[in-house]
A and B are shown apart, each in its own frame.
Chain A
Amino acid sequence: MAEEELYFSPSPHIKSKTTVPWVMRQVFLALLPAAVGSGYFFGFRYVFPSILISILACLGFETLDCLIFKKPLTIYDGSALVTGMLLGLSLPPGSPFWIALVGSGAAIILGKQMFGGLGQNIFNPALVGRAVLLISWPKAMTTWMARPPFALLPGAEGAEVVTTATPLTINQMNGFPFLQELDPQILKHLFLGQVPGSIGETSVLLLLLGFLYLLWRGVVSWHIPLTFFGGLSLVVLLGGESLFFHLLAGGAIMGGCFMATDYVTSPMTRRGQLIFGLGAGAITGIIRLLGNYPEGVTFGILIMNATVPLLDRILPPQFGGEKR
């Protein structure tokens, strides 16, 4: 019982078990069903290289950055793992390997490390990577490979893979009735994931499964996803388009549940989160309905990311009644 060995530290003397790597592991786990499912939908050799390269390149770029700037190695916090996974899942199946490589570089170096690393970045790194790719190589980023027996591939019998348009593109070019004619069960196929689209974004079912897991684990709350879908719904209804189609198609579920909910780039207050979600969803809808791009999730979230420092300041929570 040597007194000099008594350990002194400030309160609290007990701590919860939640740590940063634990949080990152949960998000990674939640994305696994969509990742594995993509192999089933598109064929393993068209999706796994992109996912693997993205993850390894993100870890690699972060290591490189730490080495060059002589910082402690930070890859064990798990955030680069999640960024790599999210980026990989948002690429088109069968895209060339350098797409994943360049995207990872943009995500980690431009999107995260240049701001000062984990916690400091304003924009969601995976979306920065994707936006850079989308603007720089629009063709590679909008060439959608798919394989039979997808319903949206008329005349593709016998071919192993074909390139095709996504439901959102068909909807934008030819309207929803035409799409329904092509695939009368389009909503069901969107829900299950049997449509052309980005690797991990097509199966609403598998994404929601992962999201429910995060809700159950207390990693995310409903505030941002619900308002995101609310904002999107509002614009879609005002524009007179099919609500269910827009909620299920493209990256809406992936964006609303996994990208917009990124801790670092979303507001910390409840009120801020509600406005953030609403804005990101509404901008997504506006781009989809009025913009050149058939999909608006990437820019919808990135634009709202820029408002986060403001939202955190102008809506501080209050406590305390009037002094009597």
Chain B
Amino acid sequence: MKTKTFPGGVHPPTYKEITAHKQIEVFPFPERLVLPLIQHTGAPLEPIVKKGDAVKRGQKIADVDAFVTAPLHASCSGKISSIEEWFHPVRGKCLAIVLENDGSSEEERRNPLPISEIENQQPQFLREWLREGGMVGLGGAAFPTHVKVSPPAGKNIEFLIINGAECEPYLTCDQRLMLEEISKIGIGLRILARASGASRVLVGIEDNKPEVIARWEEFSPHLPLPVEIVPLKTKYPQGSEKHLIRAILNREVPSGGLPLDVGVVVNNVQTTWAIGRMAEEGLPLIDRVITVSGDAIAQPKNLKVPIGSLLEDIIPFCGGVREPLKKVVMGGPMMGIAQVSLSVPVIKGTSGFLFFQSVWEKKEYPCIRCARCVNSCPMNLIPSWLARLSEFEAFEEAKAARALDCIECGACAYQCPAGIPLVQLIKLAKSEIIRSSRKGGD
């Protein structure tokens, strides 16, 4: 198979065989759901319901008057029992709406979007429709989808890339969706193409999923617009927007720029699926598929869960924990976030939960300048130099050495034979640079 890729990157073991062939199971509605008011990149939400209110599944419960944001909907019917501080998988703690499931199945569905009319809809109408559905990127960063497909005046979107790379080890939720829910993804893809104005659609899939590639090659000719399937070399971080674009179109997104700057918009397959489902069934983004895996969970699974499901409820459904449980990670092992509590909810950006019996640590040595970090950095940075500048608090120099270009993929720290926490140090430099520029430094 002829595959495309980008320079740099690493080849960690994929561990995907654990769940790759497990069909998506539906996690039953738990008794309680917790919906944090920060679900996405952008303006935090404000609740539009209050304690004691009864809500239906699919009803909007939080929104805010801002462009870069996406509203939140109730993912089951029930009563708002409180609005309080709760554990958040990324932010530590954050205000959340707590919803008690009342067991009824009352729903508030929108009118379905006529599928045959998608290509005749006004892009602006579709963008507003996407916002109302609470659509955000489900690959992890959770950037509001309607913002992505709204190019500023003077810029055109030529290409829509559907990101089916799923380059993080362990995760298989996107892979399963691409096999099991292909027609919904096809509808979502048409809506995204129409909303963004893209004339060409490309679907990038890593070559460790040959059955997915075959299925899509068979499916794509049935779509009413030209869709090209692009097999990609299995390499981390192939699923990063910038590197997907580099691999597929050989275009480099400028420093500090967006895919828009090179005429591209990238959307994750799961986002595309959620959009397709809303068109068909009228349900906003209230569920998602996650992968539960790792050596410390008894029954690894791909699970369709309501947003807001608590980890402590999901664990028993996966057969419980296999002791000793040492570490829990939300997301993939390369960029995911270690959790300090099992009471965290699934948020829109949750691609999975990983459970580990052991902690992977390396003894730290001085940097031997082996250049493994340089060769693996997909952004062509010199991670060891940036890390050293960060250690010495030389943040201005770090900025000049393009620290802000770092996508925090962790390829450098994965490779480093000296066990230096390179990404952590670069993240520190980045936050210091951003802080000082906010203070009005420059």
Contact = CB atoms under 8 A, between A and B. Distances in A.
B410 interface: yes
A310 interface: no
A292 interface: no
B73 interface: no
B366 A120 contact: yes
A8 interface: yes
Given A3-B342, A11-B336, A317-B381, A268 B369 contact: yes
Contacts of B13: 14
A263 interface: yes
Given A7-B338, A16-B414, A324 B368 contact: no
A324 B336 CA distance: 33
A9 B254 contact: no
Q: Which residue among B363, B370, B372 has the maximum number of chain A CB atoms within 10 Å of its CB?
A: B370
Given A6-B339, A13-B336, A263 B356 contact: no
B423 A119 contact: no
Contacts, number: 164
Nearest to A120: B366
Contacts of A269: 371, 374, 382
Interface string A112-137: 00000111100000000000000000
A119 B335 contact: no
A12 interface: yes
A6 B369 contact: no
Q: Which residue among A18, A118, A317, A319 has the maximum number of chain B CB atoms within 10 Å of its CB?
A: A319
B423 A268 contact: no
B434 interface: no
A11 B379 CA distance: 18
Contact of A11 (B315, B323, B328, B410): B410
A314 interface: no
A158 interface: no
Contacts of A15: 360-362, 413-414, 416, 419
A322 B402 CA distance: 15
B43 interface: no
Contacts of A324: 155, 261-263
A3 B341 contact: yes
B359 A7 contact: yes
Interface residues of B, number: 71
Given A317-B381, A321-B251, A11 B362 contact: no
Nearest to A12: B410
Contacts of A319: 252, 255, 379-381, 402, 405
A320 B405 contact: yes
B422 to A, nearest CB: 10
Interface in B291-350: 315, 321, 323, 325-329, 333-342
Contacts of A312: 382, 385
B366 A7 contact: no
Interface residues of A, number: 42
Contact of A16 (B263, B363, B415): B415
B340 A8 contact: yes
Contacts of B362: 15, 19
A125 to B, nearest CB: 13
B169 interface: yes
A9 B339 contact: no
A174 interface: no
A16 B365 contact: no
A73 to B, nearest CB: 13
A324 B251 CA distance: 12
Interface in A133-187: none
A117 B366 CA distance: 9
Interface string A271-305: 00100000000000000000000000000000000
Contacts of B328: 6
Given A13-B356, A316-B401, 6 more contacts: A1-B321, A7-B359, A13-B334, A13-B354, A18-B415, A266-B369
Interface of A: 1, 3, 5-16, 18-20, 22-23, 77, 79, 117-120, 263-264, 266, 268-270, 273, 312, 316-324
Interface of B: 10, 12-13, 155, 169, 251-255, 257, 261-263, 315, 321, 323, 325-329, 333-342, 354, 356, 359-363, 365-372, 374-375, 379-382, 384-385, 401-402, 405, 408, 410, 413-419, 421, 423-424, 427
27 contacts: A1-B325, A3-B342, A5-B325, A6-B326, A6-B339, A8-B338, A9-B327, A11-B333, A11-B335, A11-B410, A12-B334, A13-B334, A13-B356, A15-B414, A16-B415, A16-B417, A19-B363, A77-B365, A263-B368, A268-B382, A269-B374, A273-B371, A316-B382, A319-B252, A319-B379, A321-B253, A322-B254
